[in-house]
Amino acid sequence: MGKHLTCMLLALCLALLSAPAAFSAAPPDHPVIKPLPEVIEKRGEFKRFEAHKFRVSTGDKYEEKEVRGKYWYFTYWTKPEISRLEILENYKQAALEKNGQIIYEGKDELMFTLGTPEGGILWVHLQAQDAKYWLYIVEEKPLKKTLTFGAAQIKSELETKGEVTLYGVNFDFNKATLRPESEQVLLEAVKVLQSLPDIKVEVQGHTCDIGGRAYNLKLSQARAETVKNFLVQHGIEESRLSPRGYGMDMPVASNATEEGRAQNRRVVFKKL
């Protein structure tokens, strides 16, 4: 009896050891932030909504920022000959090739952002050592628009309210470079200004609070200038446009959530 019980317990232990452990199974690799080809093993997890803290450069110092959204975490093991530096440099160059923004760089870690085709932002935190590294990825969603403004709606708000917010005018993270999806909205704005040849507008740039006040005043001014230049290139007289950046000083939502920050990053036309 004792021998029979021992055999049963041994068989059970072997079955448990050979069965895949659900908690250690890694999710599929991120569709954009891929592992190195030399990876030989991985673990990880995915959560529909989670937070991670990133360091963001504000000129001569860094501040910590919590970002929330879709969340991926991976641990990757590579072949023994892959060094910490090779891991870091591979991801850095890949990020720059995709027009990413390096927001922090240290001896054994790297943080960067990438824009998504939908107007959102991928935040990536990489920590590395020889033959092993960790990736934390958060996808910060763009504002979900309930209205798509055409020329008629833009004109109506400008005439009745004196100003209109042009949601859908998006820029690369920490830059004044327009993203491709912005052109459609701005071309509608061009139609409005052409139909109202006597009005002048202040082109306002607004940001969220990532980076601090002085940094965002400069960034928002540059973005307002970019929009003005687009309008001038499409036939609007420069004398009718007054670009001004307000930075983070006029939020319309809380900067504590990604949805709020998305609403605060905006371009506004105000009739003068």
Q: What's the confidence (pLDDT) of residue 149?
A: 64
Predicted confidence (pLDDT) at residue 3 exceeds the cutoff of 80:
no
Lowest mean pLDDT among 140-149, 190-199, 244-253: 140-149
Share of the chain above pLDDT 90, in %: 53
Taking only the tens place, the pLDDT of each residue in 206-240 is 998 887 888 899 999 999 999 999 999 999 999 99
CB-based contact 19:61 (threshold 8 Å): no
Give the rounded distance of the alpha carbon of 244 from its chain centre: 24
Mean predicted lDDT score pLDDT of the chain: 85
The ranges assigned to domains in the chain are: 29-140, 151-271
Rounded alpha-carbon distances, angstroms, from residue 248 to 100, 167, 216: 23, 16, 6
Q: What's the confidence (pLDDT) of residue 142?
A: 60
Taking only the tens place, the pLDDT of each residue in 76-94 is 999 999 999 999 999 999 9
Taking only the tens place, the pLDDT of each residue in 19-77 is 343 334 678 999 899 999 999 999 999 998 888 999 887 667 778 888 888 999 999 99
Question: Yes or no: is domain 151-271 CATH 3.30.1330.60?
Answer: yes
Q: What's the confidence (pLDDT) of residue 33?
A: 94
Q: What is the mean pLDDT of residues 136-159?
A: 77
